[in-house]
């Protein structure tokens, strides 16, 4: 559902008019996941006087994938046929894919709008894939793709280009530079940040999604969600009636129905920072438990005040915290009210933990996703010992060369906790982090699913012998807590205690 993004739409139409006058620049739309970037693009194309198409690049991992996606989507969107080369050279395939929009525009003799959603995927997966296939260094290939995109944006007045991304602007700046540190891409783009909805628009969205809501409860939802559209959608669609709204939202948090949204916020926001994600979440957890001053946070986490201050200020810069002076003392608070409750309910309270990801549930899953994402492009080899210390005796060795990790939408499709794409194919991952034994029944449930699976055990329970036997029987590899520590150690990633 689209609710009042007139300011953002106005900027897009402004950039379109400038392009029409010969200012051959595209647009980069950036913002956290689930904030409404895709819906904004679709509405813009719908209202514009030119026909357009949105291409989802999040599934692209090879040049051939890119060419197939572009050709199929463009022919369907513009109801026309275009010839596609069978050339096997991957760089040629990339160039041909990027040339297809102009080819269609010329054939139809009209101007068109092309939006590449999550375009950064092309800069992440394709270079790694081609580098491993022997086509050169990944950084050189990435730079080549950047120059190809730049050339297509600047060389034609037939195609108005929109690129969107959910990774941080800081990372985009880094990945838009050549080896000498010079900007290649951003100078050809107008920038548009898409943030949460205004309170009035958030209220309007809540009432549009649920006609049973009273104005006061819709306003409460708008305030609690901080204007994040996806949060509003999840909450408003679940509520029935107008009584006990806070209790119902509390139950939704306990049941994990908001995990996906807050995970996406943390993934996006903490990408802005060079500081460890884990440290930032430790500080957020401290503030959520009413440690609101530098002194309180430092004491809670057992760190010096200077470190606590720097981390708190970083979270203010990331827009996760707000600060105010009360009687000459600076106090910090979580910007999004529901995030505070989520941290309290979904991240277990502890003052002695080395990292928040050693807790249970979604945080353990998040740690594993972050670990494997950190491992992209690296070669990982883990040998088990006679005691099964690392792989529980389910495999002698695992060798991984990770091309990419699955995003949350892909993970949900497979009913998994995480997933990685390696040179050998897709591996799905289930994470167990509770104080329960890993039994034969648990492994058997995984065995009944399709695909290759890893079972990662971060909990304190035992891995039973029948579970190991069942895993060996059906090809499930169990990675123990020590195995995860070893992967983290080999790749310089924060190690769970």
With beta carbons less than 8 A apart as the criterion, state whether 41 and 162 touch.
yes
CA–CA dist 238, 489 (Å, integer): 42
What is the structure's pLDDT at 497? Answer: 56
CA–CA dist 248, 238 (Å, integer): 9
Element (H, E) at 232: helix 229-238
With beta carbons less than 8 A apart as the criterion, state whether 232 and 338 touch.
no
**Alpha-carbon distances of 430 from 75, 196, 368, 459, 479, rounded to whole Å:** 39, 32, 10, 13, 10
Element (H, E) at 482: helix 481-490
What is the structure's pLDDT at 354? Answer: 35
Helix, strand, coil percent values for the chain (each to nearest 5): 50, 15, 35
Taking alpha carbons only, the member of 483, 486, 488 closest to residue 394 is 483
What is the structure's pLDDT at 350? Answer: 43
HEC profile for 92-159? HHHHHHHHHHHHHHHHHCCCEEEEEECCHHHHHHHHHHHHHCCCCCHHHHHHHHHHHHHHHHHCCCCE
CA–CA dist 452, 428 (Å, integer): 6
Opening angle at CA 419, ends 404 and 381, nearest 5: 70
List, edge to edge, every strand of the sheet that includes 477-479: 379-383, 397-405, 418-422, 425-432, 452-457, 477-479
Opening angle at CA 206, ends 318 and 222, nearest 5: 40
**What are φ and ψ of residue 97, in 5° steps?**
-60, -45
Using a 10 angstrom Cβ sphere, with 0-12 exposed, 13-18 middle and 19 or more buried, the burial of residue 261 is buried
Average pLDDT, the chain: 87
What's the pLDDT band for 352 if we cut at 50, 70, 90? Answer: very low
Question: Please, which residues have CB within 8 angstroms of residue 468's CB and are 6 or more apart in sequence?
Answer: 388, 392, 393, 394, 478
- C-alpha torsion sign, points 192, 194, 200, 204: positive
Taking alpha carbons only, the member of 222, 226, 224, 217 closest to residue 245 is 217
Question: Percentage of residues in the chain with pLDDT exceeding 90?
Answer: 47
Region 5-32: mean pLDDT is 93
What is the structure's pLDDT at 362? Answer: 39
Region 347-372: mean pLDDT is 56
What is the structure's pLDDT at 9? Answer: 95
pLDDT over 90 (residue 442): yes
CA–CA dist 7, 5 (Å, integer): 6
Region 60-72: mean pLDDT is 92
**3-state class (DSSP) for residue 80:** coil
What is the structure's pLDDT at 297? Answer: 92
What is the end-to-end Cα distance of the chain in Å, rounded? Answer: 44
pLDDT over 80 (residue 364): no
Please give the distance of CA 411 from its chain centroid, rounded to a whole number.
12
pTM above 0.85, yes or no: no
Pairing of the two strands 397-405 and 379-383 = antiparallel
Question: Please, which residues have CB within 8 angstroms of residue 472's CB and are 6 or more apart in sequence?
Answer: 393, 394
Tens-digit pLDDT profile for residues 67-86:
999 999 999 999 999 989 88
Q: Select, from the ranges 145-159, 192-206, 366-380, 423-437, the one with the highest average predicted confidence (pLDDT).
A: 145-159
Element (H, E) at 395: none
**Alpha-carbon distances of 14 from 6, 48, 80, 97, 380, rounded to whole Å:** 12, 12, 29, 28, 49
Tens-digit pLDDT profile for residues 232-272:
988 998 887 777 788 888 888 888 888 888 887 777 666 55
pLDDT over 70 (residue 411): yes
């Amino acid at each position: 559902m689209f609710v009042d993004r007139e300011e953002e739409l106005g900027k897009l139409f402004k950039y379109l008019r400038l392009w029409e006058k010969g200012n051959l620049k595209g647009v980069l739309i950036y913002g956290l996941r689930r904030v409404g970037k895709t819906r904004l693009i679709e509405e813009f194309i719908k209202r514009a006087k030119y026909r357009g198409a949105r291409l989802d690049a999040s599934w692209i991992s090879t040049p051939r994938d890119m060419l197939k996606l572009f050709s199929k989507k463009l022919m369907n969107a513009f109801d026309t046929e275009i010839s596609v080369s069978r050339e096997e050279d991957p760089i040629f395939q990339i160039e041909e894919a990027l040339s297809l929009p102009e080819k269609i525009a010329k054939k139809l003799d009209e101007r068109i709008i092309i939006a590449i959603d999550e375009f950064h995927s092309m800069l992440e997966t394709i270079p790694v894939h081609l580098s491993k296939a022997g086509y050169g260094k990944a950084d050189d290939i990435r730079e080549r793709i950047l120059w190809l995109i730049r050339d297509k944006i600047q060389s034609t007045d037939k195609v108005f280009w929109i690129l969107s991304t959910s990774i941080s602007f800081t990372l985009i700046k880094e990945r838009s530079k050549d080896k000498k540190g010079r900007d290649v891409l951003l100078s050809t783009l107008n920038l548009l940040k898409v943030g949460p909805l205004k309170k009035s628009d958030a209220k309007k969205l809540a009432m549009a999604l649920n006609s049973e809501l009273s104005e006061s409860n819709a306003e409460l939802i708008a305030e609690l969600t901080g204007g994040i559209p996806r949060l509003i959608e999840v909450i408003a669609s679940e509520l029935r009636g107008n009584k006990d709204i806070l209790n119902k939202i509390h139950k939704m948090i306990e049941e994990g129905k908001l995990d996906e949204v807050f995970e996406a916020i943390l993934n996006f926001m903490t990408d802005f920072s060079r500081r460890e994600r884990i440290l930032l979440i430790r500080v957020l957890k401290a503030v959520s438990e009413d440690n609101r001053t530098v002194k309180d946070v430092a004491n809670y986490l057992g760190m010096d005040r200077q470190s606590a201050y720097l981390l708190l200020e970083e979270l203010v810069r990331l827009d996760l915290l707000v600060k105010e002076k009360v009687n000459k003392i600076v106090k910090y608070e979580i910007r999004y009210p529901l995030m505070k409750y989520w941290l309290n309910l979904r991240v277990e309270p502890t003052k002695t933990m080395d990292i928040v990801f050693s807790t249970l549930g979604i945080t353990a899953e998040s740690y594993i996703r972050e670990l494997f994402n950190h491992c992209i492009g690296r070669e990982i080899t883990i040998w088990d010992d006679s005691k099964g210390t690392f792989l529980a005796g389910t495999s002698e060795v695992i060798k991984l060369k990770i091309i990419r990790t699955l995003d949350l939408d892909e993970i949900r499709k497979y009913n998994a906790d995480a997933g990685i794409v390696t040179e050998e194919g897709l591996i799905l991952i289930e994470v167990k982090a509770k104080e329960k034994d890993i039994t034969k029944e648990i492994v058997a449930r995984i065995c009944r699913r399709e695909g290759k699976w890893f079972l990662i055990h971060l909990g304190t329970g035992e891995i039973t012998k029948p579970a190991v036997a069942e895993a060996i029987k059906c090809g499930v590899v169990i990675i123990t807590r020590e195995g995860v520590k070893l992967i983290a150690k080999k790749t310089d990633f924060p190690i769970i205690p």
